[in-house]
Amino acid sequence: MAHRARDLSNREIALHVQHLVKGFSKKTGGSLLRPVHTESRAVDDVSFHVRRGEIYGVLGPNGSGKSTLIRAMSTLLIPDAGTVSIFGLDVVHDEAQVRRLLNRVSVDAAFYKKLSPRENLLYSAQLYGLERHVAEERALVTLRRLGLKDKAFFEPLEEMSRGMQQKVAIARAFLTSPVVVLLDEPTTGLDPKSRRDVQEFVLELRDVHDATIILTTHDMPEAERLCDRIAFISGGRFVAEGTAEELRTLAGPGKTLEDAFIELTGEDLAKDEEPTP
């Protein structure tokens, strides 16, 4: 399951996050007319870099800041402080150029549910300025690769399982052949077959297309299988970073990645995990 660490030290830096902070204001008391708001940091001074062709995992429990981090990296949220750059381009100042290099896949992907994957993907292709036949061919190749039957391409999305919809979201993200891919919990809630299809696709993206991938997960075996390096996030902060082996070693001889996570964050990831169907 665990793979040997690859040496990526001579590769260029694809993504560089420096002292990133993003907070949200929440109503914590007061009255209807005089509410009291408190600012809490969902991402609290996070710094890391990812090299070209690397798969970097951010592992943390519910509410630890994973999605906020992904959204800030993908230009959807403006950081309160700190910077994110993709191949030297700043995600805030060079947003249009960054969007050509990067795409995000998340479970909250918006689709026209009464339309088929084909119709949804062709609509997105039009927004991206892609030619229809190029987009259709690319989407079909990705969906077949992810194990979706051709006939599902023409059925309404609302009739599809969550796993199938997630595969369509992945195919949409790849219409533009992004060089940096942000995958926010790509396999959460998927059945074992779909989970494996998605994981194999992620490895193929790295090996065949030289993509740089940042993924968030709750799933320890997934992080060990896919990621070159892993960061543990807790309360919006990175508490440790390294290869799975380095993180296990931090916890001591004979320890698992889960032991390391509990020891370093004081939290138990297993309590969040959705039962595998």
Ligand X SMILES: Nc1ncnc2c1ncn2[C@@H]1O[C@H](COP(=O)(O)OP(=O)(O)OP(=O)(O)O)[C@@H](O)[C@H]1O
Residues found near ligand X in the complex (CB under 6 A): 24, 26, 42, 60, 62-68
CB 226 within 8 A of CB 196: no
Structure tokens at 18: 């420096």
57 or 65: whose CB is closer to ligand X? 65
60 or 186: whose CB is closer to ligand X? 60
Q: How far is the CB of 244 from ligand X (least distance, A)?
A: 20
Strands (E) across the chain are located at 13-30, 35-51, 55-59, 81-86, 89-90, 102-106, 180-184, 212-217, 229-234, 237-242
Q: How far is the CB of 19 from ligand X (least distance, A)?
A: 18
64 or 166: whose CB is closer to ligand X? 64
Q: How far is the CB of 133 from ligand X (least distance, A)?
A: 37
26 or 132: whose CB is closer to ligand X? 26
26 or 49: whose CB is closer to ligand X? 26
| Nearest residue to 154 (alpha-carbon basis) of 111, 123, 117, 125 | 117
Q: How far is the CB of 128 from ligand X (least distance, A)?
A: 26
8 or 107: whose CB is closer to ligand X? 107
User: Chain centroid to CA 103: how far?
Assistant: 10
DSSP 8-state code for residue 160: S
Q: Are strands 13-30 and 35-51 parallel, antiparallel or unpaired?
A: antiparallel
Q: Which amino acid is at 89?
A: L
Torsion of CA 116, 98, 71, 227, to 10 degrees: 90
24 or 112: whose CB is closer to ligand X? 24
| Nearest residue to 168 (alpha-carbon basis) of 192, 149, 191, 143 | 143
Determine the Cα–Cα distance for residues 198 and 204; give it in Å rounded to an integer: 10
Q: How far is the CB of 269 from ligand X (least distance, A)?
A: 10
Say how many C-beta atoms besides its own lie within 10 A of residue 22's C-beta. 21
Q: How far is the CB of 201 from ligand X (least distance, A)?
A: 21
Q: Which amino acid is at 54?
A: E
Q: How far is the CB of 183 from ligand X (least distance, A)?
A: 13
